[in-house]
Amino acid sequence: MINVAIDGPAGAGKSTIARTAAKNLGYIYVDTGALYRAVGVYSLRHGFDTKNADTVAATLPDIQVELKFLGDIQHVFLNGEDVSEEIRTPDASMAASDVSAVPAVRQFLFDLQRDIAKQNNCIMDGRDIGTVVLPDAQVKIFLTASPEARAQRRYKELQEKGASDTYEAVLADLKQRDYNDSHRAVAPLKPAEDSVLVDTTALNLEKSVEKVISVIRNKMTD
Ligand code: DC
């Protein structure tokens, strides 16, 4: 199977770019952040402290997370319920960042990710795909952009959904998540040694997709 790993910080455009590139190449697109978000949403719903690693780890026996592909769209199910919308709130983003620092959570979601990649040509995006989940992926890309460019894009997305968050709040949240994700002890966000860096600060969506597809094609013909 062909596996492409795309890692990078929040808001670099990973999901939109990876989804479009996957469609173009005929691969499935797997958004692994949705898995961490589903675990976070479980704690939020039950009023658990997402910053308490023991509390979060203790929820895992009560959680079943599944990914299903309806058409080529990924849906995430939490104990049989489709939570694909609920996982996208700013609270769910922060909860996901919190629970993703818990080693038991990463272990819990590991096999699920590996199994999908074993069975499908896929582009998988996340934080540790090239470094931990799929160290043998044929192509690894580290996709990034400046914090301000990323915050601006997130802000626009939230505005389109009618959310009232300010740009400053979005930027502060994003910087906090960057810090959390790259300073945690287990599987911190960092480029794999054999990854290709793609910076989308000055690229629009179309150019970013072109760049990513050309990196994939070049690697495949190496
Ligand atoms: O990509 P995202 O914003 O949906 O991810 C939500 C959180 O999940 C993010 O703050 C870090 C975490 N995450 C992770 O630790 N490892 C992954 N492979 C994907 C996401």
Question: Which residue of 17, 32, 124 sits with most ligand 1 atoms within 8 Å of its CB, as the best mutation to test the pocket?
Answer: 32
Inform me whether the pLDDT recorded for 33 exceeds 80: yes
Inform me whether the pLDDT recorded for 222 exceeds 80: no
pLDDT score of 103: 96
Classify residue 104 as exposed, middle or buried by CB count within 10 Å of its CB (0-12, 13-18, 19+): middle
Question: Which residue of 181, 183, 184 sits with most ligand 1 atoms within 8 Å of its CB, as the best mutation to test the pocket?
Answer: 181
Read off the pLDDT of residues 52-72 as tens digits, 9 standing for 90 and up. 999 999 999 999 999 999 887
pLDDT score of 46: 98
pLDDT score of 203: 94
Residues with CB under 6 A from ligand 1: 10, 32-33, 36-37, 93, 96-97, 100, 126-129, 177, 181
Instruction: Give me the amino acid identity at 128.
Output: D
Q: What is the pTM of this model?
A: 0.91
pLDDT score of 157: 87
Tell me how far the alpha carbon of residue 191 lies from the centroid of ligand 1, in angstroms.
Answer: 15
Confidence of residue 221 (pLDDT cuts 50, 70, 90): confident
* Percentage of residues of the chain with pLDDT beyond 90: 87
Read off the pLDDT of residues 127-148 as tens digits, 9 standing for 90 and up. 999 999 999 999 999 999 999 9
Closest ligand 1 atom to Cα of 7: 18
Taking CA atoms, 201 is separated from 32, 152, 176, 208, in Å, by 23, 11, 19, 9
Read off the pLDDT of residues 177-193 as tens digits, 9 standing for 90 and up. 899 889 988 888 999 99
